Structure 1
Amino acid sequence: MGRGGLTPAGKVVVEPQDWGRLDWMVSGAIGNSDTMTVGRCTIEPGQQNPPHHHPNCDEVLHVVSGTIDHRLGDEQLPMSAGDTISIPAGTVHNARNVGSEPAVLMIAFSTPDREVIGE
């Protein structure tokens, strides 16, 4: 496909997780961007992704639906549909679904090849 172009719903790269799933639409690995990564994160009720950080990129997280508590460094931030957070590179963070429905989050990274380091 090269740089740019359409990612049809059927071509989204799905990564199942114990706590939910990650769906990737744009990235260097997919081959449609050399500057960023874009995806969707779904966290099941009562679940959370592990604390982690990205040493090589900033992240922007936008809550599409659901309610989460987001750890950003030493802060716990309640977030719900419509809320957006900017996460600087190297900052430990994670999201916990505190609602009764799946939480859906759009995520974007400032690199096509994000690195993830768990805590």
Structure 2
Amino acid sequence: MLVSPSQVPTMTFDWGSIKWFVTPSAIPGAGSTLGEVIVNPGRGHARHNHPNAEEIIYVISGEATQMVGDGEPFPIREGDTVHIPAGAFHSTFNSTWRPLRLIVTYTPGGEEKALEGAPDYCLHEAGTVAEWRQA
């Protein structure tokens, strides 16, 4: 099954945006989740965890500071992959002037639904473009 970015909605937050291309709720029979995450310059998401799913982050472009578990924060950049075990607290912060582009997976899928409860969550219909404004 081919999935084009124009066919899926876009989640936006004050820190960036996400397009989930494969999710168990959207693709019959899918057991995992895969999407592209963009973290805006100078932004990041709060420390959180996914109790029932591991997460894998692959950096397409950009640089950031990553934290996993109780370990020290470490730099990530284009080509790096980060494995986050199920239940491990983690955060990503883009301290550069360029957008950070990531491919993110959850196994098993479904953890993306938790993002709908974030206070800054907004869903943009498939085929529309979210407009970004500087605060």
Fold in common (TM above 0.5)? yes
Q: Which has the higher strand share?
A: 1
User: AA paired with 2:35?
Assistant: G
Matched, 1:46 2:62: no
Task: Give the equivalent residue in structure 2 for 1:14.
Answer: 10
The question of whether the paired residues in 1 share the 8 Å contact of 2:47 and 2:89 is answered with yes
Task: Give the equivalent residue in structure 2 for 1:73.
Answer: 69
Percent identical residues: 30
Superposition deviation, residue 82 in structure 1: 0.4
Superposition deviation, residue 104 in structure 1: 0.4
Aligned residues: 114
| 2:87 corresponds to which of 79, 84, 90 | 90
Q: Which has the higher helix share?
A: 2
User: AA paired with 2:57?
Assistant: L
Moved over 2 A (4+): 31-34, 115-118
- What CA RMSD, in Å, does the superposition of the two structures yield over aligned residues? 1.7
Normalised to the residue count of structure 1, the TM-score between the two structures is 0.88
Task: Give the equivalent residue in structure 1 for 2:123.
Answer: none
User: AA paired with 1:76?
Assistant: P
Deviations 1:28-84 (A, max 9, x none): 121244310001110001000111100111010011011000011122010000000
User: AA paired with 1:62?
Assistant: Y
Task: Give the equivalent residue in structure 2 for 1:99.
Answer: 96
Gaps in structure 1 of 5+ consecutive residues: none
The question of whether the paired residues in 2 share the 8 Å contact of 1:55 and 1:116 is answered with no
Gaps in structure 2 of 5+ consecutive residues: 119-135
